[in-house]
Amino acid sequence: MTSQKSAHFWKSNPTFRSFLSASTISLLGSNVFDVAIPVYVAQKTGSVYALSAATVALHLPFFLMAPFTGYLVDNFNKRKILLYSDIGQVLCLILLLLYEFVSAKALWPLLLSVFTAKTLMILFETVTTFQLIPSLVSKQELSQANAWFLSSQRLVQIAGPLIAGLLMASLGLTSCIGLNILSFSATLYFVVKMKNLDKLIGEENHSGNWRTITLGDIASNFSGSFKFIWNSPVFKPFVLMMFFWNMSSINQNHPTITHYFTILNNFDPEKFGLVISLFQVLGFVGLFLSGSCYRRWGFLKAFVGATVWLAAFTTLSLYFFEAPILLAIGIAISKIGSSVFSTGTFYIRQTQVPRSRMGGVNACLRMFFMLATPVSCFIQPILVEQLGSLTSFGFGALCLWATCYFALKVGRTYSAEKSRGDQVDRVNSTLAA
């Protein structure tokens, strides 16, 4: 992306600039919170089972609440969804502050508050990622906007763990929750200020009334989304590919990773935060390289090659199981491939779904492949307790090789769209914008 092109993009898209600034601040608070919760549970209980429960609370909403969130996003006023979901998350975090102040011993209030907050976060994220961003910029500038948005996410994922580690070590969980609450003020300000948000998203004639939600309506919306996915030659293997990717135990904040570093090797919060940041630094390198990879080798080779890179370096890192620093470096190198791979999945989901179905289809997709995380979190503590952490890591590596197999199917099908003149050519030519 040339400096002249970047300057023109920022000058011609002031609303996107405001959105990205607000979103980055909010994402930073959320990332600090997501890192802090598993560390807090590990310190509080020392149990891999409790760690798994916390991870499930962070990820189960993607599966369990998908039909509900998808229906809301497709059928209700987007500005109100953004506003109320932010306010709801703040209320959940205030309840967590009270939980910490009274020094409660039971975990279920914490898990319930985390589950509710993440459900509301999914509502906000689905609107912004798949409906708001494409509405704030022209079609020709969409890939450039995506590149800036993904870059801001990666920078947040680098800074977030470091900040979380420092705050947890010095001030405890309350400081991380407080920072997250403050971060929501940025997106709240953006949504309140943007009176014409409905018009931008194409809802200028939408009544915006909160009508009665029925199970029949939700089921109908979900059924339509399911049929769309089932009839799509791209999304059927895509679901299985993403399922195995999320099933892997070698993902940030999964119980095996947190247990290995914080409990088995006694990493303090600061050191653990540094490890997670290292993962994200190399992930940012992958994001930077993704455009040139897709342009030089085409979608199929770049997409599948990135997945093989991820699986291969993850597997090689397990040879250094007794040396946690070397294992962390190996996993970090694998994240280069992970970013190139995830960039491809991002564009598939943005360009292969009609805008009118963005909420429902993407929620339905998430429901299927995010089911893998809670399932994996039930399996991981059993493997760790009965067979050891290395076995759990090996399970994660096998899942990544299964991801490679389905990535080949997805890549072949998606690349075949070129012959029909579909979106893939336009996407691939500008991935590095």
pTM above 0.75, yes or no: no
78 phi and psi, to 5 degrees?
-70, -35
pLDDT tens digit sequence for 149-176? 877 877 887 888 888 888 888 888 888 8
For the chain, give the mean pLDDT. 80
pLDDT (mean) for 346-371: 72
CA distance 309 to 315: 10
pLDDT category at 75 given cuts 50, 70, 90 is low
Share of the chain above pLDDT 90, in %: 15
Tell me the mean pLDDT in the region 335-348.
86
CA-CA-CA-CA torsion sign (270, 275, 276, 278): positive
DSSP 349-369: HHHSS-GGGHHHHHHHHHHHH
Distance from C-alpha of 178 to C-alpha of 33, rounded to nearest angstrom: 9
- CB of 337 within 8 A of CB of 420? no
**What are the structural domains of the chain?**
17-199+213-428 (1.20.1250.20)
Return the higher-pLDDT residue of 93 and 154. Answer: 93
Instruction: Compute the distance between CA of residue 62 and CA of residue 376 in angstroms, rounded to an integer.
Output: 14
Residue type, 289: L
Whole-Å CA distances, 35 to 177, 298, 392, 399 = 11, 35, 21, 23
Q: For position 121, what pLDDT does the model report?
A: 79
Q: Tens of pLDDT along 207-224?
A: 445 455 566 666 777 777
Helix, strand, or coil (residue 112): helix
Residues 99, 104, 105, 110, Cα dihedral to 10°: -10
Could you tell me the sign of the dihedral formed by the alpha carbons of 366, 70, 188, 86, in that order? negative
**Side-chain half-sphere exposure of 378, counting CA atoms within 13 A:** 5
Average pLDDT (225-235) is 81
